Structure 1
Amino acid sequence: AFELPPPGEATDATRIANEEFGAGLPLADPGDFQDARKGFLASIEGGIIKDEAGNVVWDQSRFSFLDQPAPPTANPSLWRQAQLNAIHGLFEVTDGVYQLRGYDLAVMTLIRGQTGWIVVDPLLTKETSKAAFALAMEKLGDAPIKAVLFTHSHSDHFGGVRGVISDEDLAFGRVRLIAPDGFADAAISENVLAGNQMARRAVLQFGNDLPASPTGVIDSGIGKTLSTGAIGFMAPTETVKETGETLNIDGLDFVFINAPDTEAPAEFMFYLPQKKALCTAELATSTMHNILTLRGAKVRDALSWSKHIDEALEMFGGDAEVVFASHTWPKWGNEKIRTYLEHQRDLYRYIHDQTLRLANQGETLHEIAADVPEASFMRQDFSTRGYYGTLNHNVKATYQRYFGWWDGNPANLNPYPPVEQAKRYVKLAGGADNMIANAIDAYKEGDYRWVATVMNDLVFAEPENQKAKDILASAYEQLGFQSESSIWRNYYLSGAKELREGVSKRDITQLASPDFVKAIPTPEFFDAMAVRVNPAKAGSGMTINFVFTDT
């Protein structure tokens, strides 16, 4: 009789798949590890950060298991990236430029001005931001914060602002708060209308309900995971609108590249001529990024993304001696920087152009994702590998941007919804037992994608069928163990956990912190209310008074 492996155990097929995957990559290359450790100055003892009540909001020590070689339960390429992202501390990037890495999903950069500090991207939560900044002040010497820069409109780069400055700092003009044009609208609107669904999917994408272990969460591709403290928001006092715009901030010149509608709706990069240092924000990091993140968002523009990286290369590629970003680690040396930026530029252009080439030949979304091969440089340059985004789902996203959800096949125009379709497939297959037998045969062959396809239909048709759920969970687990993408891994393993244990009862609806609620423009607040109206319950006559206290 066939028996599934115990939860958390890799099959022979998975072990062999991971060994073969690793054999095709230069995993022994030490260059990234040298860069990730370069300039180390200090670290937070134990890597643990707590809030005022003593609750742990960040625990880097959970990932101490990464000091071992890659186990069969992890893709060896992702394991390598996870080891790199586990290196944490305060680092000197170049004279007067420092980074705090490994204390949240993102990286906080500190730049020494003439009279104080310029903070770039103060992390996701107040607690991690405050602790990271305190470590820097202890090592580098205390000085006032003169400016804060938000490179873009994702909360892991601005949510910790209250850990470094206060409302009074802005009100009295002690601190400049600089962000790209459109920042406030983009930061607020992304979470207001679609927040509940995004939050639910983010739990799965980042593996929030999984343990940190060789069989659970090991990384998020661009960093370890999300901190769990207080997320804040402050509106900028200044915005950057144009590429080439130069601001003198506490005695240092910042030359900006405005890069809207790339990795975020509002985003900028900047160059420090006096330091020969380029900040690429989140347009270029040491991984392939998402054209469409699995947590859900509006599809991004791979062509625009590529062109803005090229703009940075054209403007500053001849002079830059160090490039740093809002995730992962810096790179030094002009030749190395140019190659890195060229590959990042070419990566997103390749995704865009090959998707359109094959679409114009009549291929559909899933066919293109299967047919676009890795570009040659992706086998040698780890910064272009799919630890976060993947070639597969980025191709699908690019197709979606141009052609939408439908593939042009009339059969797919109005299919049955999942449960109704699944019931018909079960009937077609001759019943659940036949489907399970087919899935077991595929499982023995290591064809976990087909197992997942067949058992997903059976679970939709018969949600109480425990055997089907167990087989599906095991297939998801093996697919997760083989995934090079951290978020594919986290999604697969979270799916397996929910099939085995049920859906977590965590409250994911409390996205909006008081800062966000206060900042929501009145029209958007009413829009947010409108998407909660259930027409089936409509028809009651009622009068509601809204009091606008600030008018």
Structure 2
Amino acid sequence: MKSRLLIPLAAIPLCVGMVFAAEATKDATPTTAQANADLLKTLPMSDRKDYEDSKRGFIATLPNMNVKGADGRTVWTLDGYQFLQGKDAPPTVNPSLWRNAQLNMDNGLFKVTDGVYQIRGFDLSVMSIVETDHGVIVIDPLISTEMSKAGLDLYYQHRPKKPVVAVIYSHSHIDHYGGVRGVVNEADVKSGKVKIYAPDGFLEEAVSENVFAGNAMSRRAIYMYGALLPRDAKGQIDGGLGKTTSLGTVTLIPPTDIIKKTGEKRTIDGLEVVFQMAPGTEAPAEMLFYFPKYHALCAAEDATHTLHNLYTLRGAQVRDANKWWQALNTTIDMFGPQVQVVFASHHWPTWDNAYINDYLKKQRDTYKYIHDQSLRLINMGYTMDEIGDMVKLPKSLDDKWYNHGYYGTVVHDAKAVYQRYMGWYSGNPADLHPLPPVETAKNTMDFMGGVPAVIKKSRDAYAKGDYRWVAQVMNMAVYAEPNNQEAKNLEADALEQLGYQSEAGPWRDVYLMGAYELRNGIPKAPAVQTASPDTIRAMTPEMALEFLSMHIDGDKADGKNITVNWVFPDLHKQYAVSLENSVLVYNEGKLNPKADVTLTMPKDSLDNIMLHTTNLDKEVAAGRAKVDGDRAKISELLSLTDQFNPLFPIVTPRP
């Protein structure tokens, strides 16, 4: 059978002497087909409002939705998604997710209301364009410059070509600012010709999220968005918030104007904007804003057409459901009486005042319900995993399509509430210091009669449709015997069926990516990098030192004592840096008179060294950097750092 995947199938010998070839994707089992068919009967498929709203105001789209970068590489395409045009969901796709995937196919330039337009289907996120007296405001310019430029060019083909006078970043996630250089240039921002508005804390949160844990998040994002899966009914069909992520140039221009308080107003080229702060909701730094002239509310990402994440599967700080519902409650109080349209940075808008208020209330109540019910169960002594299975939305909330779990889910959102209040420990002493995964797996397999016996029992469980259990126990078999391809294949089969049944796009993607790697190994593909050049340049010296600190290998550094004075003359900043007790510590504003070495360089030189476009020797030779003292100490310090593998294993143990 010919593989549909991107990597040739491999044959891997088992330790028991047999050979099982890695396998291609499978069809839905009768159990999965029946589960999806049964679900379909419970869904309000006769409600076609979203199909109408997702097309409302359509003006035009690109004749060929295949956008390339300067190097000729495709950064965005909807090619391959044509299979979604079929009316009914195939057995390999949850019918609710199939519906969402069809809706997210609507793409192009849309009129939201007089003066407000959107570019949809050009990226995971949506870019909005609001007309002012003499120009336009761009809201959330997508992930990459190629896509934001393509979107703005399409707008200009059908509307007057007025200049961009302002950009608004609604929050600190990369899909809401990464394409900024596609719509404005930094010179205009620095001159004051263009202003960039952002919520308080935006730059710190945007930079730290994409750098500090960026390597791990980037690796996990490959799973979450199914980036390497084929686009078909057995592969990636949708990301829940949009089709998937673009692969173009990620940029960042720091904001010029910071919004700090709810109720703040700005007049941008004659157009009044009223802001509402919403920190700690969908992002640590987030805000909503209202345009009184147009009776239009931008809900950022706090109210969309899905239940959102309280915890994102790529990994990030847990979000606060309590703040989320309170923010939406404030939104209703501030703007509910007059708002006529709500648009967000994902999905399509919502119109009509009465419908909008009901929509906002039910989204508010969904987050509050998950918060309150999770806490009720926490205080009854239930554990995180139990609560994830126990919390169910009431019919009044679950009946609404926009509360369905296309991106977040009730299961992992309820677990997020537990994590936020209680942390990782269940309270059971047996969970306090368990054995690490590989040792646990080996002992468990031994207690259960060995891997071959467990595989035999697991095949019986698989035949009964008990896919969650098969995935769990086969994961332990794989950790016990990493070269056992039969165990990998069976785990992959179970994960695949779980993916086929998942309503959430990210759940489907992580299950299918796990199956993909179990069958074929880690792909030899370029890693996703969230730390773009602009992100690196936006780092403060303190952030750069923290970034260096987290690379220190504690064992290698044990017993080392290194002191460095670090001077940035262009910033008028200086730091005394010391490595002692395997910890890198820095103090700003004073130098150590007994330091081993003093390093003087402008911030640009540090940025370029971090971006690997130069090195310290070149900067010294060019006269841009200066080293006084024992230069070998710098080399010694760098020798104590680790390099992060951007494609570390996820479904198999580390070698």
Same fold (TM over 0.5): yes
1:542 CA drift (Å) = 6.0
Aligned residue type for 2:34 = I
Counterpart position of 2:320: 301
**Aligned to 2:363, what secondary structure does the other structure show?**
helix
Greater C-alpha Rg = 2
Aligned residue for 2:69? 51
Please say which of residues 525-534 and 499-508 is displaced more in the overlay. Answer: 499-508
> Which residue does the alignment assign to 2:455?
436
In the TM superposition, what whole-angstrom CA distance separates every residue of 1:196-217 from its partner, at most 9, and x where no partner exists?
Answer: 1111111110011111111111
Q: Could you report, residue by residue, the CA deviation over 1:79-130 in whole angstroms, capped at 9, with x for unpaired residues?
A: 1001001110100000010000000010000011000111101110000000
- Asked if structure 2 preserves the Cα contact closer than 8 Å seen for 1:181 and 1:239, the reply is yes
Residue 18, structure 1, aligned to residue 36, structure 2? yes
Aligned mate of 2:234, from 215, 219, 228:
215
Considering only aligned residues, what root-mean-square deviation do their CA atoms show, in Å?
1.5
Choose the corresponding residue for 2:466, options 437, 447, 452: 447
Relative contact order (C-alpha < 8 Å, sep 6+): which is higher?
Answer: 1
Cross-structure match for 2:547: 528
TM-score by length of 2: 0.82
The answer for the alignment partner of 1:105 in structure 2 is 124
How far 1:183 moved relative to its partner?
0.7
Of 325, 332, 342 in structure 2, the residue corresponding to residue 313 of structure 1 is: 332
The equivalent position to 1:130 in structure 2, one of 127, 146, 149, is: 149
Q: 1:512 aligns with which of 531, 534, 538?
A: 531
Using the TM superposition, give the Cα deviation of residue 63 of structure 1 relative to its aligned residue in structure 2, in angstroms. Answer: 1.4
Shift of 1:176: 1.1
The CA distance in 1 between the partners of 2:444 and 2:223, in whole Å, is 28
Q: Say whether residues 1:548 and 2:529 are aligned partners.
A: no
Q: Give the residue type in structure 2 aligned to 1:60.
A: L
The residue identity in structure 2 corresponding to 1:234 is: I
**Distance in 2 between residues matched to 1:535 and 1:177, nearest whole Å:** 41
Q: What SS is found at the alignment partner of 1:260?
A: coil
Q: Identity over the aligned pairs, expressed in percent?
A: 49
Q: CA deviation at 1:443?
A: 0.5
Alignment of 1:410-421 (within 5 A): 410-421=429-440
Deviation >3 Å, runs of 4+:
3-6, 539-547
Contact 2:170 2:300 in 1 (8 A): yes
**Conservation of the 8 A alpha-carbon contact between 2:329 and 2:361:** yes
Whether the aligned pair in 2 keeps the contact of 1:4 and 1:471 (CA below 8 Å) is: no
1:455-479 Cα offsets, whole Å, 9 max, x none, are: 1111100111111111000000000
Aligned residues: 549
| TM alignment of 1:130-529, pairs within 5 A | 130-508=149-527, 510-529=529-548
Q: Is the 8 A contact 1:288 1:388 kept in 2?
A: yes
| Structure 1: distance between partners of 2:262 and 2:412 | 30
Maintained 8 Å contact 1:272/1:278:
yes
In structure 1, give the amino acid aligned to 2:570.
D
Q: Counterpart of 2:585?
A: none
Cα distance in 1 for residues equivalent to 2:72 and 2:118: 26
Q: Distance in 1 between matches of 2:169 and 2:266?
A: 14
Residue 546 of structure 1, CA deviation? 4.3
Instruction: Tell me the CA shift for residue 378 of structure 1.
Output: 3.5
Q: Which runs of 5+ in 2 are unaligned?
A: 1-20, 572-655
Structure 1 residue 416 displacement after superposition? 0.6
Question: SS of the counterpart of 2:79?
Answer: helix
Classify the secondary structure of the residue corresponding to 1:8: coil
Question: Would the alpha carbon gap of residues 330 and 509 (structure 1) be closer, same or farther in structure 2, given more than 3 Å must change?
Answer: closer
CA distance in 1, matches of 2:533, 2:331: 37
Match of 2:8?
none
Q: How far apart, CA to CA, are the structure 2 residues paired with 1:509 and 1:334? A: 42
- Conservation of the 8 A alpha-carbon contact between 2:264 and 2:274: yes
Q: For residues 278 and 454 of structure 1, do their structure 2 counterparts lie closer, same or farther at Cα, with a shift above 3 Å needed?
A: same
Q: Shift in Å at residue 8 of structure 1?
A: 3.3
* AA of the residue aligned to 1:550: D
Q: Which residue of 2 aligns with 1:86?
A: 105
Q: 1:152, 1:496 → 2: CA distance?
A: 34
Q: Do the aligned partners of 2:369 and 2:393 also contact (CA within 8 Å) in 1?
A: no
Contact kept? 1:97, 1:111, Cα under 8 Å? yes
8 Å Cα contact 1:8/1:73 also seen in 2: no
Q: Which moved more, 1:455-464 or 1:5-14?
A: 5-14
Alignment partner, residue 121 of structure 1: 140
Aligned to 2:80: 62
Contact 2:198 2:259 in 1 (8 A): yes
Deviation digits for residues 55-95 of structure 1, max 9, x if unmatched? Answer: 11000223121101211110000010010011101000000
SS of match in other structure, 2:111: strand
